Amino acid sequence: VIKCKAAVAWEAGKPFSIEEVEVAPPKAHEVRIKIVATGVCHTDAYTLSGADPEGCFPVILGHEGAGIVESVGEGVTKVKKGDTVIPLYIPQCGECKFCKNPKTNLCQKIRITQGKGVMPDGTTRFTCKGKQIFHFMGTSTFSEYTVVADISVAKIDAAAPLDKVCLLGCGISTGYGAALNTAKVEPGSTCAVFGLGGVGLAVIMGCKVAGASRIIGIDMNKDKYVKAKEFGATECISPQDFKKPIQEVLVEMTDGGVDYSFECIGNVGVMRAALEACHKGWGVSVIVGVAAAGQEISTRPFQLVTGRTWKGTAFGGWKSIDNVPKLVTDYMAKKIKIDEFVTHTLPFDKINEAFELMHSGK
């Protein structure tokens, strides 16, 4: 058993508490990882808020991490002690019908136990003050050591800087893949990206790599425009600057609508606007943001009858174990940006400040 520090969420709506936790050794087909760096994501904040129907407490959150394998359980063959790895919230078992289908990346092998905050055998590896602590998204990166299933870990280039590539565990991969894999943006196309946080910037990067000629960023926070343009946005607009709905503005700006739109906020009203900003006959809108529990999307069926397509994406459509190492290689070859996404680097015990910075859009 390893004793280490972790940020424990004892209950919904309360700040994290840095505690000493005990991390049990990995069982069969499990891997214990020393986490070197982790990003913070709105999904962690969503669960912490209490709005997540799958949220269990007390829990160790975090799902954008990178680290070094400390030990492996029986039967683990893909990674060994000392390997550099990224934990994966969408695993890849290679055996279920989802993994065998090229149309999806949503491996279902451990989905049920992962959603309940436990390891595949139904138990947890974390204890604090004599209490069992739940896992989160199969990763729990807000701990100096964590245990994950062996199908939830990608071995990456040992030379990669972990304080950067940890972001490939969620946000950057999600947005970048939404443009390349889900929308399949084509050269010369016009795109609109709603929400210019980390995921939105990654979508812009994907649209640019795919050869889009016009990329319109939409956000009410104008402080985000400079960064969006660095990533490839050709122009940025705020819905507050117009008297009419933003979808009407975009349809006028683009002679009938955009070819591809992306919702990167998790707001069902914006999801509708993103669809309706698409061009009749061929426009495709991708939902990337996660809306709160119980919310529903709506539009007039005529929008779809007249040739628009509504799609969704999770982790950018990447089959995780196959593709995360390739994304790291692309970053090392300077084909994709990561450093530019990092705004602040804080010590682990300042994790509550990191969440405040995220909520304030900084």
pLDDT digits (tens, 9 = 90+) for 1-18: 999 999 999 999 999 999
Q: Say if CB 227 and CB 150 are below 8 A apart.
A: no
Q: Can you list the domains of the chain with their CATH numbers?
A: 2-169+319-360 (3.90.180.10), 174-313 (3.40.50.720)
pLDDT digits (tens, 9 = 90+) for 39-69: 999 999 999 999 888 899 999 999 999 999 9
CA-to-CA distance for 194 and 196, rounded, in angstroms? 7
**pTM for this entry:** 0.96
User: When comparing pLDDT for 294 and 90, which is higher?
Assistant: 90
Instruction: Determine the average pLDDT of the residues in 148-169.
Output: 98
pLDDT of residue 361: 84
- Can you spell out the DSSP letters for 171-234? HHHHHHHIIIIII---TT-EEEEE--SHHHHHHHHHHHHTT-SEEEEE-S-GGGHHHHHHHT-S
